[in-house]
Amino acid sequence: MPELPDVETRRRYIDATALHQKIKSAVVNAPRMLKGISAKDLISALKSHAFSETGRHGKFLFVRFDDKAWLVLHFGMSGTLAYTKDESAVPEGARLRIDFANGYHLAGIWQRRLGRIGLTVDPATFVKQEGLGPDAMTPGIDLSTFKRMLGGRRGSVKPALMDQKFIAGIGNIYSDEMLFQAGLDPRHAADGLDDDQLADLHRAMRHVLRIAIERQADPGRMPHSWLLPQRRKGGVCPRCGTPLRQIKVSGRTAHLCPQCQR
DNA sequence: ACATTGACCTGAGAGC
DNA sequence: TGCTCTCAGGTCAATG
């Protein structure tokens, strides 16, 4: 579930595992996932360095290994990481494997190959190049900024939240959760929200991300009062018990309570 | 500028 | 059981 909370959890995972370990070698087994660099160049760039620092912007994870060199990872729909002691424990589907001098391995696992591996000189440069909006967790997106940003947008509120060039980090699942907690229909016009609705949505955005990160983005650990655990066939609104509805909003499946979300 | 669709990949689950 | 179909948390390009 690689939205912002998932990627943040992976970032902390690297901090707790592979950070400061000397890189001995690496293997890349997904040429199509590489952007702007060959496997050969990536491997020789990493070799004999160590990860010194991690960063994140939206759904992108950055791992520094040199003065002006950061590894960039995007997890697509199902990508994840695993730090293992034995090479035999590296899961099937590892497209990137970094071998450390301590004998451990960090695997980037993209079963479906939907994701991205690259390099950048620093995260800020990358964010600018990609045209990403501010990270959804930055304190800079205060209520008045949020209002101003949404006010200028055509279209529905859900796709606006999910637009990475608008705000970076929110995907299909958590946008549904935010809209549920704010009591808003995902099809509501983005620029037609009143002040109360904007304040509710802003609060829900921050709250959902904060709690989801606290719970390590584990779907099994989300509060029962949330939509997320009910986001399945036969799910009901945790507030009023009404069966949830499933609709398409700008091509994506949205789950909502027809009673609580207007 | 927006929505829609299909493509990219693979696995899981539903339905027959 | 095994086959086929549809769909899935993300992005991107093409089309209307």
The pLDDT assigned to A45 comes to: 97
Distance A185 CA to B16 C1' (A): 37
CA A9 to chain centre: 9
Distance A95 CA to C12 C1' (A): 21
Strand B proximal to A154 Cβ, under 7 A: yes
The pLDDT assigned to A152 comes to: 83
Beta-strand relationship, A116-120 and A34-35: parallel
Which residue positions in chain A have pLDDT lower than 50?
Answer: none
Instruction: Quote the crossing angle between the two packed helices A195-214 and A4-16, to the nearest 10°.
Output: 30
The pLDDT assigned to A151 comes to: 87
DSSP string, A9-62: HHHHHHHHTTTTPBEEEEEE--GGGEESS-HHHHHHHHTT-B--EEEEETTEEE
Strand B proximal to A159 Cβ, under 7 A: yes
The pLDDT assigned to A14 comes to: 98
For the stretch A8-34, what's the b/e string if a residue is b when 16 or more beta carbons lie within 10 angstroms of its beta carbon? Answer: bbbbebbeebbeebebeebebebeebb
How far apart (Å, rounded) are the C-alpha atoms in residues A95 and A79?
10
Distance A152 CA to C13 C1' (A): 25
Q: Which nucleotides of B are covered by protein (CB under 7 A)?
A: 1-6, 8-11, 14
How far apart (Å, rounded) are the C-alpha atoms in residues A243 and A237?
6
Put residue A92 in one of left, alpha, beta given phi > 0 → left and psi -120 to 50 → alpha.
beta
> C1' nearest to CA of A60: which nucleotide?
C10
The pLDDT assigned to A115 comes to: 94
The pLDDT assigned to A1 comes to: 61
Handedness of CA A49, A70, A142, A223 (dihedral sign): negative
* Tokens (6 digits) for A133: 């909006």
Please write the tens of the pLDDT for every residue from A73-114: 999 998 999 999 999 988 889 999 999 999 999 999 999 999
How far apart (Å, rounded) are the C-alpha atoms in residues A78 and A184?
28
Strand B proximal to A235 Cβ, under 7 A: no
Neighbours of A243 (CB within 10 A): 13
The CA-based dihedral angle spanning residues A167, A171, A174, A177, taken in that order and rounded to the nearest 10 degrees: 90
The pLDDT assigned to A92 comes to: 85
Q: Angle at CA A133, nearest 5°, toward A212 and A220?
A: 15
The pLDDT assigned to A233 comes to: 83
Q: Which nucleotides of C are covered by protein (CB under 7 A)?
A: 7-12
How far apart (Å, rounded) are the C-alpha atoms in residues A207 and A230?
18
Distance A77 CA to B12 C1' (A): 14
Distance A76 CA to B8 C1' (A): 11
Beta-strand relationship, A53-57 and A60-66: antiparallel
How far apart (Å, rounded) are the C-alpha atoms in residues A250 and A189?
12
CA-nearest of A13, A133, A132, A136 to A63 is A13
